[in-house]
Chains A and B, each alone.
Chain A
Amino acid sequence: MIWSSAEQLSRSEMERIQLDRLRATIERIYHQVPFYRARLDEAGIKPESVRHLQDLERIPFTLKTDLRDHYPFGLFAEPLSRIVRFHSSSGTTGKPVVVGYTRQDMENWTDCCARVAAAAGVTENDIAQISFGYGLFTGGFGMHAGIERLGASVLPISSGQSERQLMFMQDFGTTVLVATPSYILHLTEVMQAEGVKSEDLRLRVGLFGGEGHTPEMRQLIMERLSIIDTQNYGLTEICGPGVSYECLEHSGMHINEDHIYPEIIDPDTGAVLPEGSEGELVLTTLTKEGIPMIRYRTRDITRLNREPCRCGRTNVRMDLVRGRSDDMMVIRGVNVFPSQIESVLMTIPGIGPHYQMIVTTEQFMDKLEVQVELTDGERLERYAELEHLTQEIRQKIRTTLQIGVKVTLLNPQTIQRTAGKSKRVIDRRHDKNF
Protein backbone atom coordinates (compact mmCIF):
# COMPACT_ATOMS: atom_id res chain seq x y z
CA MET A 1 0.00 0.00 0.00
CA ILE A 2 1.16 3.53 -0.79
CA TRP A 3 0.85 5.61 2.36
CA SER A 4 1.21 9.14 1.03
CA SER A 5 0.34 10.95 -2.17
CA ALA A 6 3.82 12.46 -1.92
CA GLU A 7 5.13 9.11 -3.10
CA GLN A 8 3.36 9.47 -6.45
CA LEU A 9 4.02 13.02 -7.56
CA SER A 10 5.16 13.76 -11.07
CA ARG A 11 8.78 14.83 -11.36
CA SER A 12 7.85 18.46 -12.01
CA GLU A 13 5.45 18.59 -9.04
CA MET A 14 8.09 17.05 -6.80
CA GLU A 15 10.74 19.50 -7.95
CA ARG A 16 8.46 22.44 -7.39
CA ILE A 17 7.77 21.31 -3.80
CA GLN A 18 11.47 20.62 -3.23
CA LEU A 19 12.50 24.05 -4.48
CA ASP A 20 9.92 25.86 -2.34
CA ARG A 21 11.00 23.93 0.72
CA LEU A 22 14.69 24.28 -0.02
CA ARG A 23 14.40 28.05 -0.34
CA ALA A 24 12.45 28.29 2.89
CA THR A 25 15.05 26.11 4.64
CA ILE A 26 17.99 28.18 3.38
CA GLU A 27 16.21 31.37 4.41
CA ARG A 28 15.56 29.97 7.88
CA ILE A 29 19.03 28.59 8.58
CA TYR A 30 20.63 31.80 7.34
CA HIS A 31 18.79 33.79 9.94
CA GLN A 32 18.62 31.25 12.74
CA VAL A 33 21.85 29.23 12.71
CA PRO A 34 25.05 31.30 12.99
CA PHE A 35 27.10 28.32 11.78
CA TYR A 36 25.22 28.14 8.48
CA ARG A 37 25.17 31.88 8.08
CA ALA A 38 28.94 32.04 8.35
CA ARG A 39 29.29 29.19 5.88
CA LEU A 40 26.99 30.87 3.35
CA ASP A 41 28.64 34.25 3.80
CA GLU A 42 32.05 32.68 3.24
CA ALA A 43 30.80 31.10 0.05
CA GLY A 44 29.25 34.40 -0.99
CA ILE A 45 25.73 33.00 -1.12
CA LYS A 46 22.64 35.00 -0.15
CA PRO A 47 19.47 33.02 0.53
CA GLU A 48 17.63 34.87 -2.22
CA SER A 49 20.22 33.76 -4.78
CA VAL A 50 19.04 30.16 -4.41
CA ARG A 51 16.56 30.01 -7.30
CA HIS A 52 16.97 26.49 -8.64
CA LEU A 53 17.58 23.11 -7.06
CA GLN A 54 20.96 23.09 -8.82
CA ASP A 55 21.97 26.17 -6.83
CA LEU A 56 22.36 23.84 -3.87
CA GLU A 57 25.63 22.64 -5.42
CA ARG A 58 27.27 25.94 -4.53
CA ILE A 59 26.57 25.56 -0.83
CA PRO A 60 29.30 23.98 1.33
CA PHE A 61 28.85 20.49 2.79
CA THR A 62 28.01 19.78 6.40
CA LEU A 63 30.12 17.08 8.08
CA LYS A 64 29.66 14.87 11.10
CA THR A 65 32.47 16.82 12.75
CA ASP A 66 30.42 20.02 12.38
CA LEU A 67 27.72 18.46 14.56
CA ARG A 68 30.30 17.35 17.07
CA ASP A 69 32.01 20.73 17.15
CA HIS A 70 28.69 22.39 17.92
CA TYR A 71 27.64 19.85 20.53
CA PRO A 72 25.06 19.78 21.88
CA PHE A 73 22.68 22.40 20.47
CA GLY A 74 24.83 24.65 18.28
CA LEU A 75 23.21 23.68 14.99
CA PHE A 76 19.64 23.85 16.26
CA ALA A 77 17.50 26.33 14.34
CA GLU A 78 14.82 26.54 17.01
CA PRO A 79 14.90 27.45 20.71
CA LEU A 80 14.66 24.51 23.11
CA SER A 81 11.15 25.62 24.01
CA ARG A 82 10.08 24.34 20.60
CA ILE A 83 12.07 21.09 20.80
CA VAL A 84 10.00 18.16 22.04
CA ARG A 85 12.48 15.30 21.60
CA PHE A 86 16.20 14.60 21.54
CA HIS A 87 17.99 11.70 19.96
CA SER A 88 21.66 10.99 19.64
CA SER A 89 24.21 8.69 18.10
CA SER A 90 27.81 8.01 18.89
CA GLY A 91 30.25 10.60 17.63
CA THR A 92 33.76 10.14 16.33
CA THR A 93 35.70 11.05 19.43
CA GLY A 94 33.61 10.81 22.52
CA LYS A 95 31.06 13.54 22.03
CA PRO A 96 27.87 12.18 20.52
CA VAL A 97 25.83 13.72 17.73
CA VAL A 98 22.70 15.30 19.16
CA VAL A 99 19.56 16.10 17.22
CA GLY A 100 16.33 17.79 18.30
CA TYR A 101 12.83 17.48 16.86
CA THR A 102 10.04 20.03 17.00
CA ARG A 103 6.45 18.86 17.15
CA GLN A 104 6.22 19.29 13.38
CA ASP A 105 9.45 17.29 12.92
CA MET A 106 7.94 14.46 14.94
CA GLU A 107 4.85 14.59 12.77
CA ASN A 108 6.88 14.42 9.54
CA TRP A 109 9.16 11.72 10.89
CA THR A 110 6.23 9.59 11.94
CA ASP A 111 4.69 9.96 8.50
CA CYS A 112 7.97 9.01 6.79
CA CYS A 113 8.25 5.90 8.97
CA ALA A 114 4.62 4.97 8.24
CA ARG A 115 5.56 5.03 4.54
CA VAL A 116 8.43 2.62 5.27
CA ALA A 117 6.10 0.10 6.88
CA ALA A 118 3.31 0.53 4.32
CA ALA A 119 5.74 -0.06 1.45
CA ALA A 120 6.66 -3.41 3.02
CA GLY A 121 3.00 -4.36 3.05
CA VAL A 122 2.34 -3.80 6.75
CA THR A 123 -1.34 -3.11 7.55
CA GLU A 124 -3.51 -2.47 10.57
CA ASN A 125 -4.02 -6.22 10.84
CA ASP A 126 -0.38 -6.83 11.66
CA ILE A 127 1.29 -7.31 15.01
CA ALA A 128 4.65 -5.57 14.87
CA GLN A 129 7.42 -6.50 17.26
CA ILE A 130 10.04 -3.77 17.53
CA SER A 131 13.35 -5.35 18.43
CA PHE A 132 15.36 -2.19 17.83
CA GLY A 133 16.74 -0.54 20.90
CA TYR A 134 14.69 2.31 22.32
CA GLY A 135 16.39 5.17 24.10
CA LEU A 136 18.64 7.69 22.40
CA PHE A 137 18.95 5.50 19.29
CA THR A 138 16.44 6.74 16.70
CA GLY A 139 15.52 3.28 15.39
CA GLY A 140 13.12 2.08 18.07
CA PHE A 141 11.09 5.24 18.60
CA GLY A 142 10.97 6.16 14.90
CA MET A 143 9.61 2.87 13.64
CA HIS A 144 7.37 2.60 16.68
CA ALA A 145 5.62 5.86 15.87
CA GLY A 146 5.31 5.13 12.15
CA ILE A 147 3.86 1.66 12.57
CA GLU A 148 1.51 2.80 15.28
CA ARG A 149 0.25 5.54 12.99
CA LEU A 150 -0.32 3.00 10.27
CA GLY A 151 -2.53 1.14 12.70
CA ALA A 152 -0.71 -2.12 13.28
CA SER A 153 -0.49 -3.38 16.88
CA VAL A 154 2.92 -2.40 18.16
CA LEU A 155 4.85 -4.57 20.62
CA PRO A 156 7.70 -2.36 21.89
CA ILE A 157 9.91 -5.14 23.22
CA SER A 158 13.23 -3.37 22.44
CA SER A 159 16.47 -5.23 21.77
CA GLY A 160 18.03 -8.27 23.40
CA GLN A 161 16.72 -11.22 25.42
CA SER A 162 16.22 -13.50 22.45
CA GLU A 163 14.33 -16.24 24.32
CA ARG A 164 11.82 -13.70 25.50
CA GLN A 165 11.53 -12.26 22.00
CA LEU A 166 10.70 -15.72 20.70
CA MET A 167 8.15 -16.32 23.43
CA PHE A 168 6.28 -13.14 22.49
CA MET A 169 6.56 -13.96 18.81
CA GLN A 170 4.85 -17.28 19.43
CA ASP A 171 2.30 -16.20 22.04
CA PHE A 172 1.23 -12.98 20.33
CA GLY A 173 1.50 -14.28 16.79
CA THR A 174 3.85 -11.51 15.73
CA THR A 175 3.64 -10.93 11.97
CA VAL A 176 6.11 -8.06 11.53
CA LEU A 177 9.59 -7.84 12.97
CA VAL A 178 11.62 -4.63 13.12
CA ALA A 179 15.28 -5.42 13.71
CA THR A 180 18.77 -5.35 12.29
CA PRO A 181 19.32 -8.10 9.69
CA SER A 182 22.05 -9.66 11.80
CA TYR A 183 19.73 -9.81 14.77
CA ILE A 184 17.07 -11.75 12.88
CA LEU A 185 19.74 -14.20 11.76
CA HIS A 186 20.87 -14.51 15.32
CA LEU A 187 17.26 -15.17 16.34
CA THR A 188 17.05 -18.02 13.84
CA GLU A 189 20.02 -19.60 15.57
CA VAL A 190 18.32 -19.24 18.93
CA MET A 191 15.17 -20.76 17.41
CA GLN A 192 17.17 -23.76 16.40
CA ALA A 193 18.65 -24.12 19.86
CA GLU A 194 15.24 -23.72 21.51
CA GLY A 195 13.52 -26.06 19.08
CA VAL A 196 11.26 -23.34 17.66
CA LYS A 197 10.35 -23.98 14.03
CA SER A 198 9.45 -21.34 11.49
CA GLU A 199 5.96 -22.94 11.28
CA ASP A 200 5.50 -22.09 14.97
CA LEU A 201 5.69 -18.40 14.05
CA ARG A 202 3.32 -16.23 12.06
CA LEU A 203 6.03 -13.87 10.97
CA ARG A 204 5.54 -12.62 7.42
CA VAL A 205 7.39 -9.30 7.06
CA GLY A 206 10.78 -8.12 8.20
CA LEU A 207 11.60 -4.40 8.32
CA PHE A 208 15.36 -4.35 8.53
CA GLY A 209 17.59 -1.40 9.11
CA GLY A 210 20.34 0.04 11.25
CA GLU A 211 23.03 -1.68 9.24
CA GLY A 212 23.71 -2.99 5.75
CA HIS A 213 22.28 -6.16 4.38
CA THR A 214 24.14 -8.37 1.94
CA PRO A 215 22.34 -10.44 -0.71
CA GLU A 216 23.69 -13.52 1.09
CA MET A 217 22.07 -12.47 4.35
CA ARG A 218 18.84 -11.77 2.54
CA GLN A 219 18.81 -15.18 0.94
CA LEU A 220 19.50 -16.87 4.22
CA ILE A 221 16.71 -14.98 5.97
CA MET A 222 14.33 -16.10 3.24
CA GLU A 223 15.48 -19.70 3.51
CA ARG A 224 15.13 -19.86 7.22
CA LEU A 225 11.94 -17.90 7.72
CA SER A 226 10.25 -17.46 4.33
CA ILE A 227 9.26 -13.89 5.07
CA ILE A 228 9.15 -10.73 2.99
CA ASP A 229 12.46 -9.10 3.73
CA THR A 230 12.65 -5.34 3.25
CA GLN A 231 15.46 -3.00 4.03
CA ASN A 232 15.19 0.62 5.02
CA TYR A 233 17.78 3.29 5.50
CA GLY A 234 18.23 6.23 7.79
CA LEU A 235 20.68 8.14 9.89
CA THR A 236 20.35 10.14 13.07
CA GLU A 237 21.62 13.36 11.52
CA ILE A 238 18.75 13.43 9.02
CA CYS A 239 15.92 11.99 11.12
CA GLY A 240 16.75 8.34 11.88
CA PRO A 241 14.73 5.68 10.04
CA GLY A 242 12.43 7.05 7.37
CA VAL A 243 15.03 8.40 4.94
CA SER A 244 14.47 5.63 2.38
CA TYR A 245 12.83 2.23 2.16
CA GLU A 246 12.28 -0.73 -0.10
CA CYS A 247 8.93 -1.58 -1.60
CA LEU A 248 7.88 -5.10 -2.49
CA GLU A 249 9.65 -4.79 -5.86
CA HIS A 250 13.01 -4.94 -4.07
CA SER A 251 14.57 -2.63 -6.62
CA GLY A 252 16.15 0.05 -4.51
CA MET A 253 15.05 2.16 -1.56
CA HIS A 254 12.60 5.00 -2.22
CA ILE A 255 13.77 8.25 -0.72
CA ASN A 256 11.22 10.46 1.02
CA GLU A 257 12.31 13.25 -1.27
CA ASP A 258 9.52 15.65 -0.39
CA HIS A 259 11.37 15.90 2.96
CA ILE A 260 14.93 15.00 2.00
CA TYR A 261 16.84 16.07 -1.10
CA PRO A 262 19.53 13.63 -2.28
CA GLU A 263 22.67 14.25 -4.31
CA ILE A 264 25.48 11.91 -5.33
CA ILE A 265 28.98 13.34 -5.20
CA ASP A 266 32.50 12.25 -5.89
CA PRO A 267 33.83 11.69 -2.34
CA ASP A 268 37.28 12.93 -3.33
CA THR A 269 36.47 16.10 -5.25
CA GLY A 270 33.02 16.89 -3.83
CA ALA A 271 31.65 17.41 -7.35
CA VAL A 272 28.06 16.39 -8.02
CA LEU A 273 28.09 13.34 -10.30
CA PRO A 274 25.84 12.81 -13.33
CA GLU A 275 22.52 11.02 -12.91
CA GLY A 276 22.98 7.30 -12.30
CA SER A 277 26.62 7.45 -11.14
CA GLU A 278 27.79 5.69 -8.06
CA GLY A 279 29.18 7.96 -5.39
CA GLU A 280 28.65 9.35 -1.90
CA LEU A 281 25.13 10.20 -0.84
CA VAL A 282 24.64 13.77 0.33
CA LEU A 283 21.33 14.71 1.95
CA THR A 284 19.60 18.01 2.60
CA THR A 285 16.54 18.19 4.81
CA LEU A 286 13.70 20.19 3.27
CA THR A 287 11.24 20.41 6.15
CA LYS A 288 13.31 19.87 9.28
CA GLU A 289 12.79 22.62 11.84
CA GLY A 290 14.77 21.53 14.89
CA ILE A 291 18.09 20.85 13.23
CA PRO A 292 18.07 21.32 9.46
CA MET A 293 20.92 19.61 7.63
CA ILE A 294 22.31 21.20 4.51
CA ARG A 295 24.26 18.93 2.19
CA TYR A 296 25.12 16.45 4.90
CA ARG A 297 27.79 14.01 3.80
CA THR A 298 26.53 10.57 4.76
CA ARG A 299 29.74 8.78 3.62
CA ASP A 300 27.50 6.02 2.29
CA ILE A 301 28.19 4.91 -1.27
CA THR A 302 25.16 4.34 -3.47
CA ARG A 303 23.47 5.36 -6.72
CA LEU A 304 20.21 7.15 -7.51
CA ASN A 305 17.54 6.00 -9.94
CA ARG A 306 14.71 8.39 -10.87
CA GLU A 307 12.78 5.95 -13.07
CA PRO A 308 9.25 5.46 -11.74
CA CYS A 309 9.02 2.12 -9.93
CA ARG A 310 6.70 -0.74 -10.87
CA CYS A 311 5.13 -0.38 -7.44
CA GLY A 312 3.58 2.91 -8.56
CA ARG A 313 5.86 5.16 -6.52
CA THR A 314 7.63 7.91 -8.35
CA ASN A 315 10.02 9.04 -5.64
CA VAL A 316 13.68 8.49 -6.43
CA ARG A 317 15.30 5.23 -5.39
CA MET A 318 18.78 4.66 -3.99
CA ASP A 319 20.61 1.34 -4.30
CA LEU A 320 21.30 -0.63 -1.16
CA VAL A 321 24.39 0.98 0.33
CA ARG A 322 27.52 -0.53 -1.19
CA GLY A 323 30.09 0.73 1.23
CA ARG A 324 31.55 3.76 2.93
CA SER A 325 33.76 6.57 1.75
CA ASP A 326 35.40 6.61 5.18
CA ASP A 327 36.47 3.85 7.54
CA MET A 328 33.32 3.69 9.63
CA MET A 329 32.18 0.19 10.55
CA VAL A 330 28.77 -0.86 11.72
CA ILE A 331 29.12 -3.33 14.58
CA ARG A 332 25.81 -4.73 15.79
CA GLY A 333 24.08 -1.58 14.57
CA VAL A 334 26.52 0.75 16.32
CA ASN A 335 28.65 3.08 14.21
CA VAL A 336 32.29 2.61 15.06
CA PHE A 337 35.22 4.61 13.75
CA PRO A 338 38.75 3.29 14.19
CA SER A 339 39.66 6.75 15.49
CA GLN A 340 37.34 6.22 18.46
CA ILE A 341 39.14 3.02 19.40
CA GLU A 342 42.43 4.79 18.85
CA SER A 343 41.59 7.61 21.22
CA VAL A 344 40.73 5.07 23.91
CA LEU A 345 43.96 3.15 23.41
CA MET A 346 46.02 6.34 23.60
CA THR A 347 44.93 6.82 27.20
CA ILE A 348 46.24 3.45 28.33
CA PRO A 349 49.89 3.09 29.35
CA GLY A 350 51.91 -0.03 28.62
CA ILE A 351 50.68 -0.64 25.11
CA GLY A 352 52.04 0.56 21.79
CA PRO A 353 50.47 3.05 19.39
CA HIS A 354 49.77 0.39 16.79
CA TYR A 355 46.54 -1.52 16.82
CA GLN A 356 44.36 -3.55 14.55
CA MET A 357 40.68 -4.36 14.57
CA ILE A 358 39.27 -7.60 13.28
CA VAL A 359 35.57 -7.91 12.63
CA THR A 360 34.00 -11.34 12.32
CA THR A 361 30.60 -12.87 12.80
CA GLU A 362 29.72 -15.63 15.15
CA GLN A 363 26.19 -16.92 14.95
CA PHE A 364 25.42 -13.84 12.85
CA MET A 365 26.38 -11.46 15.63
CA ASP A 366 29.27 -9.16 14.83
CA LYS A 367 32.35 -9.64 16.94
CA LEU A 368 35.07 -7.05 17.22
CA GLU A 369 38.55 -7.98 18.28
CA VAL A 370 41.03 -5.25 19.13
CA GLN A 371 44.66 -6.26 18.92
CA VAL A 372 47.29 -4.19 20.66
CA GLU A 373 50.98 -4.62 21.26
CA LEU A 374 52.18 -5.03 24.81
CA THR A 375 55.28 -2.88 25.03
CA ASP A 376 55.84 -2.55 28.73
CA GLY A 377 57.14 -5.57 30.61
CA GLU A 378 56.22 -4.14 33.99
CA ARG A 379 52.89 -5.83 34.09
CA LEU A 380 54.36 -9.26 33.46
CA GLU A 381 55.35 -9.72 37.07
CA ARG A 382 51.87 -10.37 38.23
CA TYR A 383 49.37 -12.22 36.18
CA ALA A 384 46.46 -10.17 37.49
CA GLU A 385 48.08 -7.01 36.16
CA LEU A 386 47.89 -8.30 32.63
CA GLU A 387 44.29 -9.37 33.09
CA HIS A 388 43.60 -5.94 34.49
CA LEU A 389 45.11 -4.32 31.40
CA THR A 390 42.85 -6.16 28.97
CA GLN A 391 39.88 -5.50 31.21
CA GLU A 392 40.67 -1.81 31.34
CA ILE A 393 40.84 -1.60 27.56
CA ARG A 394 37.59 -3.52 27.21
CA GLN A 395 35.82 -1.36 29.73
CA LYS A 396 36.97 1.95 28.28
CA ILE A 397 35.87 0.91 24.81
CA ARG A 398 32.52 -0.14 26.20
CA THR A 399 32.08 3.20 27.92
CA THR A 400 32.89 5.15 24.78
CA LEU A 401 31.20 2.99 22.16
CA GLN A 402 28.65 0.91 24.05
CA ILE A 403 29.98 -2.26 22.50
CA GLY A 404 31.81 -5.21 23.94
CA VAL A 405 35.07 -6.19 22.30
CA LYS A 406 37.66 -8.87 22.68
CA VAL A 407 41.11 -7.54 23.48
CA THR A 408 44.16 -9.47 22.36
CA LEU A 409 47.67 -8.61 23.45
CA LEU A 410 50.44 -9.13 20.94
CA ASN A 411 54.20 -9.00 21.01
CA PRO A 412 55.75 -5.68 19.98
CA GLN A 413 56.31 -5.17 16.27
CA THR A 414 53.82 -7.81 15.22
CA ILE A 415 51.16 -5.53 13.77
CA GLN A 416 51.99 -4.75 10.21
CA ARG A 417 53.49 -1.31 9.61
CA THR A 418 52.94 0.37 6.32
CA ALA A 419 54.36 3.58 4.97
CA GLY A 420 51.01 5.07 4.01
CA LYS A 421 47.62 4.58 5.58
CA SER A 422 47.89 1.52 7.75
CA LYS A 423 45.29 -1.17 7.57
CA ARG A 424 43.53 -0.73 10.86
CA VAL A 425 40.47 -2.77 10.12
CA ILE A 426 40.19 -6.29 8.81
CA ASP A 427 36.57 -7.07 8.10
CA ARG A 428 36.06 -10.79 7.74
CA ARG A 429 32.29 -10.69 8.01
CA HIS A 430 31.71 -11.49 4.39
CA ASP A 431 34.66 -13.76 3.84
CA LYS A 432 32.74 -16.97 3.94
CA ASN A 433 29.27 -17.80 2.77
CA PHE A 434 26.72 -17.67 5.48
Chain B
Amino acid sequence: MFVKQISVFLENKSGRLAEVTRTLKEHQIDIRALYIADTTEYGILRMIVDQPEKAQDVLTKTGFTVSSTRVIALAIADRPGTLDEALETLSSGSISVDYLYAFVGRSSDDAIVIIRVENPELALERLNQTGIRVLDCREVYGT
Protein backbone atom coordinates (compact mmCIF):
# COMPACT_ATOMS: atom_id res chain seq x y z
CA MET B 1 0.00 0.00 0.00
CA PHE B 2 2.93 2.27 -0.41
CA VAL B 3 3.51 4.62 -3.26
CA LYS B 4 6.88 5.18 -4.83
CA GLN B 5 8.22 8.68 -4.85
CA ILE B 6 11.39 9.78 -6.55
CA SER B 7 13.64 12.58 -5.33
CA VAL B 8 15.96 14.49 -7.61
CA PHE B 9 18.79 16.75 -6.52
CA LEU B 10 18.67 20.12 -8.26
CA GLU B 11 21.68 22.35 -8.15
CA ASN B 12 20.97 26.04 -8.07
CA LYS B 13 21.30 26.79 -11.75
CA SER B 14 18.72 27.99 -14.20
CA GLY B 15 17.29 25.35 -16.49
CA ARG B 16 17.83 22.39 -14.17
CA LEU B 17 14.16 21.80 -13.53
CA ALA B 18 13.39 22.08 -17.23
CA GLU B 19 16.02 19.45 -17.87
CA VAL B 20 14.11 17.08 -15.60
CA THR B 21 10.77 17.74 -17.25
CA ARG B 22 12.29 17.46 -20.73
CA THR B 23 13.80 14.10 -19.88
CA LEU B 24 10.47 12.85 -18.57
CA LYS B 25 8.64 14.15 -21.62
CA GLU B 26 11.06 12.41 -23.95
CA HIS B 27 10.30 9.13 -22.23
CA GLN B 28 6.58 9.72 -22.03
CA ILE B 29 6.54 9.71 -18.25
CA ASP B 30 3.64 11.51 -16.64
CA ILE B 31 4.12 13.58 -13.50
CA ARG B 32 1.18 13.14 -11.14
CA ALA B 33 2.44 15.42 -8.38
CA LEU B 34 5.53 17.33 -7.48
CA TYR B 35 6.96 19.27 -4.67
CA ILE B 36 10.22 21.23 -4.43
CA ALA B 37 12.08 21.97 -1.25
CA ASP B 38 14.74 24.56 -1.87
CA THR B 39 17.23 26.88 -0.30
CA THR B 40 19.35 29.50 -1.99
CA GLU B 41 21.95 26.84 -2.65
CA TYR B 42 20.10 23.83 -4.03
CA GLY B 43 16.76 22.12 -4.20
CA ILE B 44 15.24 18.69 -3.91
CA LEU B 45 12.47 17.84 -6.32
CA ARG B 46 10.04 15.15 -5.15
CA MET B 47 7.70 13.60 -7.64
CA ILE B 48 5.02 11.02 -8.02
CA VAL B 49 5.13 9.76 -11.59
CA ASP B 50 3.33 7.01 -13.47
CA GLN B 51 6.51 4.99 -14.11
CA PRO B 52 8.80 5.52 -11.12
CA GLU B 53 11.44 2.88 -11.98
CA LYS B 54 11.79 4.14 -15.52
CA ALA B 55 11.91 7.74 -14.34
CA GLN B 56 14.68 6.97 -11.89
CA ASP B 57 16.62 5.15 -14.57
CA VAL B 58 16.41 7.80 -17.28
CA LEU B 59 17.08 10.68 -14.90
CA THR B 60 20.15 8.95 -13.51
CA LYS B 61 21.38 8.38 -17.05
CA THR B 62 20.86 12.04 -17.85
CA GLY B 63 23.19 12.90 -14.99
CA PHE B 64 20.93 13.55 -12.04
CA THR B 65 21.34 12.24 -8.54
CA VAL B 66 18.10 10.41 -7.87
CA SER B 67 16.68 8.30 -5.10
CA SER B 68 13.38 6.59 -4.58
CA THR B 69 11.45 6.00 -1.42
CA ARG B 70 8.15 4.66 -0.16
CA VAL B 71 5.55 7.19 0.85
CA ILE B 72 1.94 6.95 1.93
CA ALA B 73 -0.85 8.39 -0.19
CA LEU B 74 -4.08 9.29 1.53
CA ALA B 75 -7.40 10.30 0.05
CA ILE B 76 -8.55 13.26 2.07
CA ALA B 77 -12.12 14.41 1.65
CA ASP B 78 -12.57 18.06 0.84
CA ARG B 79 -14.04 19.24 4.13
CA PRO B 80 -12.72 20.71 7.38
CA GLY B 81 -10.95 18.41 9.80
CA THR B 82 -10.06 15.48 7.56
CA LEU B 83 -6.36 16.21 7.28
CA ASP B 84 -6.30 16.88 10.98
CA GLU B 85 -7.68 13.44 11.68
CA ALA B 86 -4.91 11.81 9.68
CA LEU B 87 -2.20 13.83 11.36
CA GLU B 88 -3.64 13.28 14.82
CA THR B 89 -3.56 9.57 14.18
CA LEU B 90 0.11 9.69 13.33
CA SER B 91 0.95 12.07 16.12
CA SER B 92 -0.78 9.96 18.77
CA GLY B 93 1.35 7.06 17.61
CA SER B 94 4.49 9.21 17.96
CA ILE B 95 5.11 8.98 14.25
CA SER B 96 6.71 12.13 12.99
CA VAL B 97 6.09 13.41 9.54
CA ASP B 98 9.20 14.36 7.55
CA TYR B 99 7.15 16.21 4.97
CA LEU B 100 3.88 16.09 3.12
CA TYR B 101 2.29 17.59 0.05
CA ALA B 102 -1.11 17.43 -1.55
CA PHE B 103 -2.62 17.35 -5.00
CA VAL B 104 -6.04 16.88 -6.50
CA GLY B 105 -6.79 13.38 -7.64
CA ARG B 106 -8.05 12.36 -11.02
CA SER B 107 -11.19 10.42 -10.25
CA SER B 108 -12.81 12.10 -7.28
CA ASP B 109 -13.03 15.36 -5.43
CA ASP B 110 -10.76 14.05 -2.73
CA ALA B 111 -7.37 15.58 -2.33
CA ILE B 112 -4.46 13.18 -2.36
CA VAL B 113 -1.97 13.80 0.41
CA ILE B 114 1.50 12.29 0.16
CA ILE B 115 3.13 11.72 3.50
CA ARG B 116 6.68 10.72 4.17
CA VAL B 117 7.27 9.34 7.67
CA GLU B 118 10.14 7.74 9.46
CA ASN B 119 8.35 4.44 10.02
CA PRO B 120 5.94 3.78 7.15
CA GLU B 121 4.84 0.30 8.27
CA LEU B 122 3.72 1.55 11.65
CA ALA B 123 2.05 4.57 10.10
CA LEU B 124 0.14 2.36 7.71
CA GLU B 125 -1.02 0.11 10.51
CA ARG B 126 -2.30 3.11 12.44
CA LEU B 127 -4.03 4.69 9.50
CA ASN B 128 -5.72 1.43 8.56
CA GLN B 129 -7.38 1.38 11.95
CA THR B 130 -9.17 4.62 11.08
CA GLY B 131 -11.60 5.41 8.33
CA ILE B 132 -8.98 7.20 6.32
CA ARG B 133 -8.52 5.77 2.86
CA VAL B 134 -4.99 4.82 1.98
CA LEU B 135 -4.43 4.72 -1.76
CA ASP B 136 -2.43 2.18 -3.70
CA CYS B 137 -0.21 2.77 -6.70
CA ARG B 138 -2.92 2.18 -9.22
CA GLU B 139 -5.18 4.77 -7.69
CA VAL B 140 -2.41 7.32 -7.53
CA TYR B 141 -0.64 6.92 -10.84
CA GLY B 142 -3.23 5.02 -12.71
CA THR B 143 -1.24 1.95 -13.73
Taking Cβ atoms with an 8 Å cutoff, the residues of A that contact B are 374-378, 380-383, 386, 390, 408-414
Contacts and interface: CB of A to CB of B under 8 A. Distances in A.
A377 B66 CA distance: 5
Interface in B52-109: 63-67, 69, 98-99
B64 A411 contact: yes
A380 B42 contact: no
Tell me what chain B mostly uses at the interface: helix, strand, loop, or mixed.
strand
B11 interface: yes
B41 interface: yes
B9 A374 contact: yes
A374 to B, nearest CB: 5
Interface string B105-134: 000000000001000000000000000000
11 contacts: A375-B65, A377-B7, A377-B65, A378-B67, A380-B66, A381-B98, A383-B37, A383-B99, A408-B11, A408-B42, A412-B65
Contact of B42 (A377, A381, A386, A413): A386
Interface residues of B, number: 20
A375 B64 CA distance: 8
A380 B7 contact: yes
Contacts of B116: 381
Interface string B1-43: 0000001111110001000000000000000000001000110
A409 B67 CA distance: 16
Contacts, number: 52
Contacts of A414: 11, 63
B67 A412 contact: no
Contacts of B7: 377, 380-381
A377 B68 CA distance: 8
A380 B98 contact: no
B44 interface: yes
A376 B8 CA distance: 11
A390 B11 CA distance: 13
Contact of B44 (A375, A378, A380, A410): A380
Given A380-B65, A382-B98, A411 B44 contact: no
A343 B47 CA distance: 36
A412 B63 contact: yes
B41 A411 contact: no
Nearest to B38: A383
Contact of B41 (A376, A382, A408, A412): A408
Contacts of B12: 408
Contacts of B8: 380
B67 A377 contact: yes
Contact of A409 (B9, B64, B66, B98): B9
Contacts of A409: 9, 11, 41-42
B65 A374 contact: yes
A414 B16 CA distance: 12
A338 to B, nearest CB: 21
B42 A376 contact: no
Nearest to B37: A383
